[in-house]
Chain A
Amino acid sequence: EPEVTQTPSHQVTQMGQEVILRCVPISNHLYFYWYRQILGQKVEFLVSFYNNEISEKSEIFDDQFSVERPDGSNFTLKIRSTKLEDSAMYFCASSEQSIGTGRNEQFFGPGTRLTVL
């Protein structure tokens, strides 16, 4: 069964450093997402991406964050200058286009645990 994959599984970085989290969505999906979950808190939406541009972003997704689909398979989240409060689990998800069925399930990857020291 196809699945979303994410690398690395765990990333440790120093405050102020740039990090890039990588995701490979399911191959025929057109919509891509990033969510994060700070330890012990809710899963929070960051951004959605379609047709090579951001379609929606939350208030969390400020100028320190960017997303890119550099090739036909990868989808990346970059944090330009990490802060301590960026420590969290970051989940990538993808979905196919729903046409009139109401079905728009998002498939999530296993996550990247980001630790900022």
Chain B
Amino acid sequence: DQQVKQNSPSLSVQEGRISILNCDYTNSMFDYFLWYKKYPAEGPTFLISISSIKDKNEDGRFTVFLNKSAKHLSLHIVPSQPGDSAVYFCAASVGGSQGNLIFGKGTKLSVKP
């Protein structure tokens, strides 16, 4: 069973508009969430994270929102740029000192000029 779900395999957005990537989780023990960006033939690159004690974290054009009651988080990219085109993975952890990040299957974002 998948504990971290990204139900949209792909998303296409026009340059300058907002991109919203969604992620749902089932394990209520998760207390830290991360978003990674991955280009083809490269490893995942950390983008932004949020602790379960917060409901929002912002870093430049990237904002992550966490809704614990709905077990849902989302990544907002505003404004979207063609260089943002990549696969985005949501990941979760139970206690940051554990060895295991649980990843979703990813959402492929295409930002069209």
A and B interact: no
Residue numbers of B with Cβ under 8 A of A are: none
Residue numbers of A with Cβ under 8 A of B are: none
